[in-house]
Chains A and B, each alone.
Chain A
Amino acid sequence: MKLSGSQKRQLRTDLWGWALASPLLLGLLIFTMYPLVTSFVYSFFDVNMIRPMENFGLQNYQAIFTGDYSADFFHSLKVTAVYSAIQVPLGLVLGYALAMFLNAACKGRGTFLILYYLPTLIPAVVSGALWGDMMNQQYGFFNVLFHDVMGFDKIEFQSAKNLMASYIWMTTFNLGGGSIIWLSGLRGIDTVYYEAATLDGAGGFQKFVRITLPMSTPYIFYNLVMGIIGALQLFNQPYILTGGTGGDGNALKTLNMFIYETAFSGLRMGIAAAMAWVLCLLVAVLTGLTFLTNRWVYYADEE
């Protein structure tokens, strides 16, 4: 077979391209595709480290939805759902408010932004341990401040009833991280819109509702999607905060923690793989729904 000059050139380009992109190709095959397929296969077998896969069937899915694992599975699912349903909107609203605040025309706002960003640099391992320390019943910072100094009743931050609320409160220290993304969005809004609105006699509130809010919807959308993906996979901080146990009454045992425990402490890898696929599906469905209902997002450059 004879190749024309342009075909030869294209073949050379293909070779170069695949050669240079081969790390990514191999990485996707070895560290994503192979494990993905394998874990799907695992979810239909009894798997542990000692014996090979045996007993093909739906028993793992049955175990998590109606069998031995269902109580703990639905509990963790509820923990994850409650956390996501509260933390994601709360983080969006407070983060946005903080960015609006920092967007004011006052000197020194850049310095404040950097300082507000600092808590997000605390590694999850440290913040998990630190928040456990701050919420400690006996010597924790908050109880010393509220009880010993101010004279209020002691608060059981880590009891089964309060742990989730305490943890969500702790996440507000990280608001500065999201604000950077919000701020770059707010600063990207053309001042022409505001000038025109002022000429038409619009007030501050109207400008916010009619200009600022619609123009920042792409950022709201981005933070919403990333927030959902992150919240559903919560692991590090609650794991460290509770010493790997999930806390009093498993109040902070997220789905990811329960899957991890089932796989690596219980060594029931088939059941863990089945749960991981349920989590995966959940993430896919929720982000898919967010994308499908994104008609409220306004893209200026699409018109």
Chain B
Amino acid sequence: MPAAGVVVATGAISLDHARAEVEQLGPVVGFLAAVLVLAHFCDVEGLFQACGAWTARWSGGRPARLLTAVFALASVITAVLSLDATVVLLTPVVFATAARSGVRAKPHVYACTHLSNTASLLLPVSNLTNLLAFAASGLSFTRFAALMVLPWLVAIGAEYLVFRWFFARDLSTAAPGARDTGEPPRLPLFALVTVGCTLAGFVLASAVGIDPAWAACAGALALAGRALVRRRATPVTVVKAAAPAFLAFVLALGVVVRAVVDNGLADALGRVLPGGTGLPALLGVAALAAVLANLINNLPAVLVLLPLVAPTGPGAVLAVLLGVNIGPNLTYAGSLATLLWRRIVHQHDHGVDLREFTRLGLLAVPTALGAAVVALWGALQVVGS
């Protein structure tokens, strides 16, 4: 945020451009706040705990079956409630589920981290990168989903095959007679119905031409309102769930990136970015986006690339999304910039086997990304852009 102040104060970006950027990002940030609140109160309603208990019962202590269940669960949670929900709320539940089932947790926690990226392709709400691209693409909510459903399924399928092979040894190990998976969980009916209605609201809103953010807003208000009435939340916790500091960060980041783009990055990237919407061009755009995401993190990457590809049409915008969403699985902490920053700021050893992390990424990212781009190209032919 101080950086945003600096670029405005030094004239690196004109006040008009800064204001235009903030006005453009405003509705996106509102949408994001609603999704964050929705996910938070789904957790308060016990949705994630119930999901953990269901996967434990369905898998019956068999590690490969548990991995399948975790893949399904993490894919749906990421698509509907965003990648934040998977990373922050679902990962601990999956870890606890694996431990309770007598199964090694590593493949399942890896699945959560990979799918929080790879499975965030489906809906505009799944990832902040999508919300930004959605605003720039001119697509309707349903058209976005219709074009992305095939790439989403194909990318998840590719990850699944890589995981089954990569973790074959861990997935063959389970303590016999794993402990009982406990009582059947209480069905968090209100949360499920609210999320279902919100999804229906997205479809309906885009059919009649209303901003789908209102549907997210209604869902968030329903869940937060119920928590307030039942005294499980206070107005302060509702505001905190919307992560105001993060929302402000997104606006500030938009201004900083706009300043950098205005000052020459656009020309430089414009020269290497392939034009057109054929399969080779889409592959090139997605690969460039993935590389950029691994260097500078995917939020700045998508902010940089969107103005450059938006004139080419929705196909190129969605190819950028495939790159910036799947790409971060290659680098621990999502990008070299974050990794270096954290290395410098916190001299803290997290004990992650970085060679193993990168080996998995080198297998999974090109496989999932390549297959997803081909699927997107196919979807563009069938659905039409």
Do chains A and B stick together as partners?
Answer: no
> Interface on A for B, CB 8 Å cutoff?
none
Q: Which residues of B contact A (CB under 8 A)?
A: none
